[in-house]
Amino acid sequence: MPAPKSERLLNLLIMLLVQRRPIAKERIRELLYPDSRPDAFEKMFERDKDELRSLGVPVEVAQIDPLFDDEVGYRIPPEAFALPEVELTPEEAQVVGIASRVWQHATMAQATTDAVRKLSAAGIDVDLDALEIARPLLTAEEPAFERCWIAVCERQAIEFDYQRPEAEPMRRHVQPWGVVRYAGRWYLVGYDADRGAERVFRLSRFLGEVRLVGHPGAYDVPPDTDVRQIARRMAPPTPTATAVLLVRAGAGHGFRRTASRITTGVEGPDDLSGWDRVEVLRATQGLADEVLSHGPDVVLLEPTAIRDQVVERLMQVAG
């Protein structure tokens, strides 16, 4: 069975990025497109290269052997793919941080591992340092995430059993528009074919397997769709609390941006830098994850119940 398009593009990106020298097209076919016929491979490979280039990835064509010009290969020069030094405002940095988290999802991490393993097993000299350019950063534990993410990328309808509180499970048929994290939870946003309207579904309430139905590219997402705004409008309210934090100077911009009060120059847990006391209204769900994602730059003081969760998880890591 062919790999999903998103996984195939990621594998091709990794293969071309870690090469120390150009790799031949036939070798690419053997490793990444082993089940494709020659004519199908040519079309698929050309489409995949064009898609990477449309995303700004510099796929380079070069001679495999500088002494002979009869065979060319492909690679992505890490120095051309890496971004130059970028200066962001605190708000822009927060948006980039949120977007980059998706890459640490287990599906993408596994795809990266599989691609590197294939290359190493084939005896190809790989440069693993090049992967730091696109290093993954966020996880999603819900089992339904992988299939929902694939369905969004492929524009393919899905069906699944959904359990609402104090109700019997129901079979749902949805055209996914996006997967979004809101108030500490993952939601699927899409068109509910059973109800004929847009809906949001919390991934933790999916039961059993998510099934892909129909064909890829079977529908289009309505223009100007903002899945985060839909989730904010339609998702049920979540409990909130005022979080009191010690934030290192120059860090924690996501907390600072929506803070109700910031007291600068307070005593902190170390003297390596200055510290500020930040008070901000936050959903309690996912607050521990958000605090831990800042490492040693943010210390949670209140609520004490969430602080206990943070301490417990840090102790487990230390142990």
Per-residue pLDDT tens for 302-319?
999 999 999 998 888 777
Query: CB of 46 within 8 A of CB of 162?
Result: no
Share of the chain above pLDDT 90, in %: 30
Share of the chain above pLDDT 70, in %: 77
Confidence at residue 171, expressed as pLDDT on a 0 to 100 scale: 95
Instruction: State how far the Cα of 123 lies from the Cα of 264, in Å rounded to an integer.
Output: 56
Instruction: State how far the Cα of 180 lies from the Cα of 202, in Å rounded to an integer.
Output: 10
- Strand order, beta sheet including 240-248: 261-266, 275-283, 240-248, 298-302
Nearest alpha-carbon partner for 155 in 198, 203, 107, 219: 219
The pLDDT of residue 17 is above 60: yes
Q: In which band, very low, low, confident or very high, does the pLDDT at 131 lie, cut at 50, 70 and 90?
A: very low
Does 109 or 18 have the greater pLDDT score?
A: 18
Does 83 or 158 have the greater pLDDT score?
A: 158
The pLDDT of residue 105 is above 50: no
Confidence at residue 172, expressed as pLDDT on a 0 to 100 scale: 96
Mean pLDDT across 277-304 = 88
Instruction: State how far the Cα of 287 lies from the Cα of 254, in Å rounded to an integer.
Output: 12
Does 178 or 284 have the greater pLDDT score?
A: 178
Confidence at residue 32, expressed as pLDDT on a 0 to 100 scale: 85
Does 161 or 284 have the greater pLDDT score?
A: 161
Instruction: State how far the Cα of 257 lies from the Cα of 100, in Å rounded to an integer.
Output: 19
Strand 68-75 vs strand 23-24: parallel, antiparallel, or unpaired?
antiparallel
For residue 133, give the 3-state DSSP assignment. Answer: helix
Mean pLDDT across 43-58 = 83
The pLDDT of residue 157 is above 80: yes
Confidence at residue 120, expressed as pLDDT on a 0 to 100 scale: 54
Confidence at residue 110, expressed as pLDDT on a 0 to 100 scale: 52
Q: In which band, very low, low, confident or very high, does the pLDDT at 87 lie, cut at 50, 70 and 90?
A: low
Residue spans of alpha helices (H) in 25-144: 25-32, 38-54, 78-81, 90-101, 106-121
Confidence at residue 124, expressed as pLDDT on a 0 to 100 scale: 52
Confidence at residue 136, expressed as pLDDT on a 0 to 100 scale: 43
Exposed, middle or buried by CB within 10 Å (0-12, 13-18, 19+), for 293? middle
Mean pLDDT across 35-59 = 84
The pLDDT of residue 113 is above 60: no
Sequence length of the chain is 319
* Model confidence pTM above 0.75: no
Of the ranges 44-48, 115-119, 208-212, the best mean pLDDT one: 208-212
Q: What is the CA radius of gyration of the chain?
A: 23
Mean pLDDT over each residue of the chain, to the nearest integer: 80
